[in-house]
Amino acid sequence: MLDKTQKDTDSMLEQARQILADNDRGGYTVPTHGLYPYQWNWDSVLAAWGFASYDLDRGWQEIETLFASQWPTGMVPHIIFHKPDPGYFPGPDVWGTQCAPQTTGITQPPIAATFVRKMFCADRSFGEPRARALFEPLKNWHRWFMDYRSEGGRICITHPWESGRDNAIDWDSAMARVDTSEVGEYTRRDTSHVNPEMRPKKEDYDRYISLLYLGRDTGWDEAQIRAKSAFRVADIGMTFILLRACQDLLWMATELGEDGQEIAGWITQLERGVASMWNEDIQAYDSYDIHAQQFTGCLSNASYLCWYAGIENSVMLEHYQRISAELDYPVPSLDSNNPNYDPLRYWRGPTWPFFNSLIGIGLEDMGHKDEADNLRAATDKLLRTEGFYEYCHPGTGQGAGGEQFTWTAAIWLSWVNMESDKWA
């Protein structure tokens, strides 16, 4: 019998679709009203996946709107400022990218190719022209990563916000080198919407802004940023995600009759890069501080994207099974046995339901069906009980961060609730 505290499936379906509708701004969605008033890159791709469960055309439109702001270099920005929102910081005037519409000068994890493939497979005749039109933009974005961010096949970030795991402890040692003496005064908006105890601390935010100013002052020139910045970290999550994205882009190349030789070369490089990101000391995949030439020492939820990238690892499965047994609502963003584990602070412990969907896709793809089914069931129970929050306490399930969140609703529609073979 359904627990009285849990919503029934019809109610969940109605609410999830309503959240997407409420956050729809006409061709793109915002993550949630107030806290995040613009189009975010990987949020938007997951929104497309959610829309596609009942409106494929709207799903395709979401990704097409995102790629309409691709830079000539191939980079796809992490935020697109479609409409003014003067209360948001740091807004378009701070980034100074001079785009139309204005954007930030950094990127986010390239999950798009993977979900373009899923939407293409959902209806091939409808999706083929849309996938064909997106193929070169996707390829250009992947090439940008390989040209500007690859260190021996390890994909680097130049700002924590690029990782999507903004406040993860992976970045702490590198961020400690960032000079904040010239940052000055500013007013954050996030802490007016969410309990400050759940958000990055002021000293963290000062460093974020310092890195932003450095990028802006170089005119977002990648060579200058690389030469001048104290922060350059090979992100295990970004590397796994790009590897998976290239695999899916190569599949599309074959299906669409396009040349896949360059993409295949990227896959080989990324596989070598991933192999070099195994940290023997913690027996896990880990991010790597390029300047310090050392691992960050973190077992995070990004470490479990190995299966998403098509890489089997029995030790990672043991880690995963241990954590899943310890917590009612896995997967925490940081190993719960880490002394820095903070279950309600942004990316330093909470479970992110959308991230579970990426891990779950990987588990299922690699044949770990029991683990995938159990993760889906735990995420379902969490959302039926707590609602569509941005993230949650891995032990109690307490919802935190933004409410009525787009990507949380989207993954309930397309991963938690729908049969996985719809998205083969």
Quote the pLDDT of residue 185. Answer: 83
Quote the pLDDT of residue 157. Answer: 98
**What mean pLDDT is predicted for residues 50-56?**
96
pLDDT digits (tens, 9 = 90+) for 137-173: 999 999 999 999 999 999 999 999 999 999 999 999 9
Tell me, which fold does domain 9-418 have in CATH?
Glycosyltransferase (1.50.10)
pLDDT digits (tens, 9 = 90+) for 216-231: 999 999 999 999 999 9
d(CA 240, CA 307): 9
> Looking at the annotation, which residues are catalytic?
166, 390
Q: How far is CA 400 from the centre of its chain?
A: 18
Q: Is 360 helix (H, G, I), strand (E, B) or coil?
A: helix
Quote the pLDDT of residue 188. Answer: 66
pLDDT above 60: residue 424: no
Q: How far is CA 186 from the centre of its chain?
A: 26
Q: Which of 81, 2, 12 has its CA nearest to residue 409?
A: 12
Q: Which tokens hold the place of 256?
A: 């669409």
Residue spans of the domains in the chain: they are 9-418
